[in-house]
Amino acid sequence: MSHSDEADSPTASGARVTQPLTRRPTAGWALMGSELAVLFRRRRTWVMLLALALIPVLVAVAVRISSAGSSGRGPAFIDQISQNGLFVALVALTICIPLFLPLTVGVVAGDTIAGEANLGTLRYLLVSPVGRVRLLVVKFVAAMAFCLAATVVVVLAGVLIGAALFQVGPVTLLSGDTIGVGQAGLRALLIAGYVTVSLLGLTAIGLFVSTLTDIPVGAMAATVVISIVSQVLDSLPQLDALHPWLFSHYWLDFADLLRQPIEWSSFGSNALLQLGYVAVFGALAYGRFASKDVLS
Amino acid sequence: MPDGGLAIQTRGLTKVFGRQTVVNGIDLSVPRGSVFGFLGPNGSGKTTSIRMLLGLASATSGEISVLGQQMPKRAGTVLPRVGALIEGPGFYPFLSGTANLRRLDSADRFAQSSTRTVRVGEALERVGLTHAAGKKVRAYSLGMKQRLGIANALLTPRELIVLDEPTNGLDPQGTREVRNLVRSLTASGTTVFVSSHLLAEIEQMCTHAAVMRSGHLVAQGSLDELRQAGQARVRVLTPDPGAARRVLAQLGLAADADASDTHPLDGETVTAPLDAGQDGDGAIGPGTLADRPLDPEHIVAALVAGGVRVRGFAVERATLEDLFVALTGEGFDVAQ
Ligand SMILES: Nc1ncnc2c1ncn2[C@@H]1O[C@H](COP(=O)(O)OP(=O)(O)O)[C@@H](O)[C@H]1O
Ligand SMILES: [Mg+2]
């Protein structure tokens, strides 16, 4: 019964369709591949990743040429760099998290739907047909991949430039324990994972904002502004009660991953919070996009 | 409601934007295998109707069936069998023509990836873009983008192809190619639904047409049926227009109030519609059978007998163009 309902069945009046659709649909992975290819082959994406990679380079060079020793100011871990180049990655991440990462993520997430609408490709994707839900999922996954790529680029560039300009050796953790270079590399990747997860809530917000407009720049700007507002609210002690609900609340709490044994609680709270944001804004994006008139 | 003999069928299809009713209760019936022209001035609601047919926009009210299935409910099974060009091409400027088509093809879960390269190549060849396949779409002219859009509609064998103003931006040569392409499509049994604001285009490639006027469907049928609907008129060129009107009135023909033309030497042109029952070939209307046969020669005889100096006489059947201008109220390039 279920199959006789399919497209290839003769219609009630007995008329035959000219070219019955007998093929089974594929799983649809081709679109995911295509989406990733379009995203990562795009020059804009490369420029953003390159700009992110420049930040650890700047940090390392600045520390290298200023022999001024420790001033006690500046980002966390910056004083450790001259003893151990691996810390360049940590310092660079700390610098990138409040602004540069949200900026690039805002660009990618804000562009997801609005960018296609603006190019006029959205209507062609939809009549291809890509289901609207499938398109949202594919877009979100690709934006997630960008978050991962962005943080990994910062960490990797930091480790490489750190190793090039400074000595690299065993790392003394916040808990006082010392781990080897290999172990330290793993911790660095773990931190990249933490930061990636941190950005998922913002990605979901960007996806939702992107369904609201046909103007990608507007969606990008709105997403970045939202990330800044969240951080500003998080810095106001009067709004204490609100803080644990802000998606940026745990952004800089990756230091707990630098203890022995690893302190997972902030990772867990962060992941849960981000998941909540993904659920809420994913649902909002679905609610908006599934029934939206595509008139672009 | 779905009728298997129809590629597209709508009932009372309506779209309201704010307070403006852009598509107003249209009943389209597009026979399978036809080349169906969807004609109307700019802003008459063609693109909006097409968006609803393809599930891009929801209908405010009314029903749609495409290829015998309800839209937008069955979009997932209907749309893979439909190719479309909607309100101009839309492509990624930073990708090549080939990469663009591959991307859109990969969105269709029924399109086989194993044949993608071959199909994309064939589609590009069909629209004459093979030489520009590797070029970034950024560097394409509007005409080339338009062709790429048509190529996208041809990526897989389709039962229905919807082309919204496909010759926009094309030069006369490109327009001719599109016309030939449409012909070759129908040869393989594909139904083509093509919108245009240009009558000539529709007349040259369509078997059927529907005419839109500010959201209303004002005529629909095969081109022959539409031509039949055009009324025959008599046309008298005379320096005695007053007398001519009088004689025509005696024959039961209501002359048009004002002269359509004045000629300095020959006088005025007086026109009058022949009765609805009259046919262009001089057939006799039912009410006039016994005593007043309105053959052209009888009218001329009556005019001459009435002392009208007839310097020119013709019975003219309205062209499709006259009909469409009458139906839409305006010339075809004028909005609303
Ligand atoms: N997104 C929209 N919002 C409001 N009105 C619209 C929108 N899109 C089109 N219209 C109006 O709908 C009418 C029909 O437009 P359209 O379907 O594009 O006409 P056509 O394709 O026949 O030129 C026009 O008057 C246009 O102004
Ligand atoms: Mg239009």
Domain count, chain B: 2
Please give the average per-residue pLDDT across B196-217, as a whole number: 88
Question: Is B330 a residue whose pLDDT tops 80?
Answer: no
A113 at the B interface (CB within 8 A)? Answer: no
Please indicate whether, in this complex, the C-beta atoms of B4 and A31 are within 8 angstroms of each other.
no
User: How far apart (Å, rounded) are the C-alpha atoms in residues B19 and B21?
Assistant: 7
Question: Is A4 a residue whose pLDDT tops 80?
Answer: no
User: How far apart (Å, rounded) are the C-alpha atoms in residues B150 and B131?
Assistant: 16
Residues B235 and B224 in one domain: no
**CA B141 to ligand 2 centroid distance, Å:** 20
Q: What is the CATH number of the domain that holds B174?
A: 3.40.50.300
Question: Is A91 a residue whose pLDDT tops 60?
Answer: yes
Question: Is A42 a residue whose pLDDT tops 50?
Answer: yes
Q: Which residue of B has its CA nearest to A22?
A: B110
Evaluated on CA atoms B69, B74, B77, B83, the torsion sign reads positive
Domain membership of residue B331 (yes or no) is no
Residues B65 and B173 in one domain: yes
- Cα of A283 to nearest chain B Cα, Å: 20
B297 at the A interface (CB within 8 A)? Answer: no
Question: In the structure, what pLDDT confidence band is assigned to residue B270 with cuts at 50, 70 and 90?
Answer: confident
Residues B56 and B159 in one domain: yes
Residues 115-154 of B with CB under 8 A from A: 152
Question: In the structure, what pLDDT confidence band is assigned to residue A22 with cuts at 50, 70 and 90?
Answer: low
Residues B206 and B238 in one domain: no
Question: Is A193 a residue whose pLDDT tops 60?
Answer: yes
**CA B273 to ligand 1 centroid distance, Å:** 36
User: How far apart (Å, rounded) are the C-alpha atoms in residues B104 and B86?
Assistant: 14
Query: A282 is written with which tokens?
Result: 């994913």
Residues B251 and B302 in one domain: yes
Residues B37 and B81 in one domain: yes
Domain membership of residue B336 (yes or no) is no
Residues B121 and B219 in one domain: yes
User: How far apart (Å, rounded) are the C-alpha atoms in residues B303 and B320?
Assistant: 29
CB of B127 closer than 8 Å to CB of B181: yes
- With a pLDDT cut of 70, the percent of chain A lying above it is 88
B76 at the A interface (CB within 8 A)? Answer: yes
- Cα of A134 to nearest chain B Cα, Å: 10
Q: How many CB pairs under 8 A join A and B?
A: 131
Residues B102 and B144 in one domain: yes
Ligand 1 nearest-atom number relative to CA B45: 17
Please indicate whether, in this complex, the C-beta atoms of A26 and B76 are within 8 angstroms of each other.
no
- Lowest average pLDDT, out of B85-99, B129-143, B177-191, B256-270, goes to B256-270
Residues B104 and B177 in one domain: yes
The per-residue pLDDT for range A128-153, each reduced to its tens digit, is: 888 899 999 999 999 999 999 999 99
Burial of B112 (0-12, 13-18, 19+ CB in 10 A): middle
Please indicate whether, in this complex, the C-beta atoms of A13 and B5 are within 8 angstroms of each other.
yes
Q: Which residue of A has its CA nearest to B4?
A: A15
Q: Which residue of A has its CA nearest to B94?
A: A42
Q: Which residues contact B13 (CB under 8 A, 6 or more apart)?
A: B23, B25, B26, B27, B28, B49, B52, B59, B61, B62, B63, B64
Burial of A261 (0-12, 13-18, 19+ CB in 10 A): exposed
Question: In the structure, what pLDDT confidence band is assigned to residue B38 with cuts at 50, 70 and 90?
Answer: very high
Residues B77 and B178 in one domain: yes
**Nearest CA, atom 25, ligand 1:** B43
B45 at the A interface (CB within 8 A)? Answer: no
Q: For residue B286, what are the domain limits?
A: 231-316
Report every protein residue that has its C-beta within 5 angstroms of ion ligand 2.
B 47
Reduced to 3 states (helix: H, G, I; strand: E, B; else coil), residue A280 is helix
pLDDT at B284: 38
Reduced to 3 states (helix: H, G, I; strand: E, B; else coil), residue A291 is coil
Cα A78 to the center of its chain, rounded Å: 25
Which chain B positions have a beta carbon within 8 Å of A2's beta carbon?
none
Residues B53 and B199 in one domain: yes
Helices vs strands, H then E, count in chain A: 10, 2
